[in-house]
Structure 1
């Protein structure tokens, strides 16, 4: 499915990126893995394309052809990569997908400007698509970007706070990650000609799937294999990120949670031994088990909404499989 999604996306994404000014196009193409920093062709891999594949499958599920939803898929992928370009700067991450991040290769200012250019391009792709519901799509995507930015703002704020409640951390993740995945599914439904009720079911499916995906991603950020994640081991812990497993542990009221809080309050950088200990404390405090259990429950809720929408069976089956892939579960 992801191969199918990428095969449809790439021929449309390339011409869109070509519309960017020269320096912004160069940085964006590097970020997407299409060429090296010097412009030499490369096959570095531009991500799994899960979000645009959700758009395309949702469009088919709503009764349309995948091609009808392609502008929405391109726009969603562009917004996602805008967020990655800026996230890498804010988090100080030096590597992504096993090579230097855009800011590491071209500088902070240039990476920020490239992200801005990519975001603007996303709206232009939707607005110029010629689809009769393009205006509705632009409005939906605009509201989603505001949610995404609000979630990202909260994420940054949490890093400077000693205490964060689990409920507000869930709200942050819902905006930072869930909003765009929900929008991807809704845009597919809109561009595929779905009814209002079907679009709302698809949006709710994506909303719950997005939060489950963030939980699974947070687990990978602590216990994932760097060969798979493309980031250094324990990178989230080294950055003192208040990810969902961490906040679940910090608010657990356990001895392990209190010891973890003491580690997070240290002024000095955490050593390798500290990071290993922090990961163990999160597990001891129940953060890992809570995150997995919550992700499983959200996935179940997502599939209930998907199956209640009265959509085409084959794309629904594909969406179900993709949801399992995104949450590291077989469904």
Structure 2
């Protein structure tokens, strides 16, 4: 029997989108018309008037993790499509609400949904996507799946609440920041991997190991996301340069820099505590201080260490070779996307 060749991460993402998109569109089509308009705009399917466009809809990493985890556990990918749809709906619920909470006006090179349709419409659309995710899982033959997703979402809300609370606090410990990331970001990636294994009928030990693979990958993902929030190319990120510093967000590299005990940390702390918004020169100086205090190199090193640990957990599941190799390639893309 011939073994299918291992596909590069870009091909895996394209395959995942092709497999999931019809079911995702069918789910969104069940929404009331006003909410469906906002949802489709946010997902990049049409413009603010509902006219079809070719807008970026995101990489859809989480659905790909679901499908590959199912294959790695010995099932066909299409058996886990409902789980992939539910995870993508839940993820976009968080993005719609995040943009409102953070007052971000740009996502994927377009105005955010709340900037176009208003805050209330964006919040209600996020709520609708969350309800739709629960409905998709409820219609499946896996009753435990709903609990996996809701547990992850409760963790996510806990992490989001902590992240917002950090904005009002002058000091945040590195341990607190890592705990927040584990809840806010890692929980949903971990759930995506666990759901794929659950839909494959994998034993609990395999589900747990794939959940741990996703958790570690999620923390690494946030390290890289935080690096991009400071040094990312706007043409690639779809957001203005130095976004996180303009809002004085206490991201992982920033908190690590502030905790370094160096003169650079003290100057950075002074700039972060100012009540007036930072100017262009101040923001550039803040980015330099984070780097000189070691925050940039620490986050980069941590993301690589977490990737290696995640791959070890993946190997512990004795997965099917081809999907395991593709999961590893996808994980590498996630962690090295800032290159």
CA distance in 2, matches of 1:271, 1:8: 46
Could you say which residue in structure 2 is the equivalent of 1:290? Answer: 298
C-alpha displacement at 1:50, in angstroms? Answer: 0.2
User: Of 233, 239, 245, which residue of structure 2 is paired with 1:231?
Assistant: 239
CA distance in 2, matches of 1:81, 1:261: 34
Could you say which residue in structure 2 is the equivalent of 1:53? Answer: 64
CA distance in 2, matches of 1:200, 1:217: 25
SS of 1:217's equivalent? helix
SS of 1:111's equivalent? helix
CA distance in 1, matches of 2:70, 2:108: 29
- The correspondence of residues 27-66 of structure 1 with structure 2, limited to 5 A, is 27-66=38-77
Are 1:256 and 2:264 counterparts? yes
Could you say which residue in structure 2 is the equivalent of 1:177? Answer: 185
Could you say which residue in structure 2 is the equivalent of 1:14? Answer: 25
C-alpha displacement at 1:22, in angstroms? Answer: 1.1
Aligned length: 327
User: Of 318, 328, 331, which residue of structure 2 is paired with 1:320?
Assistant: 328
- The correspondence of residues 1-331 of structure 1 with structure 2, limited to 5 A, is 1-129=12-140, 131=141, 133=142, 135-328=143-336
Flag structure 2 segments of 5+ consecutive residues without an equivalent.
1-11
Structure 1: 4+ residue segments shifted above 3 A:
none
- Change over 3 Å in CA distance of 1:73–1:278 after alignment to 2: same
C-alpha displacement at 1:329, in angstroms? Answer: 7.0
* TM-score, normalised via structure 1 length: 0.98
C-alpha displacement at 1:195, in angstroms? Answer: 1.2
C-alpha displacement at 1:194, in angstroms? Answer: 1.2
* TM-score, normalised via structure 2 length: 0.95
C-alpha displacement at 1:8, in angstroms? Answer: 0.7
Flag structure 1 segments of 5+ consecutive residues without an equivalent.
none
CA distance in 1, matches of 2:131, 2:258: 39
CA distance in 2, matches of 1:289, 1:98: 28
SS of 2:248's equivalent? coil
Aligned-residue Cα RMSD (Å) equals 1.0
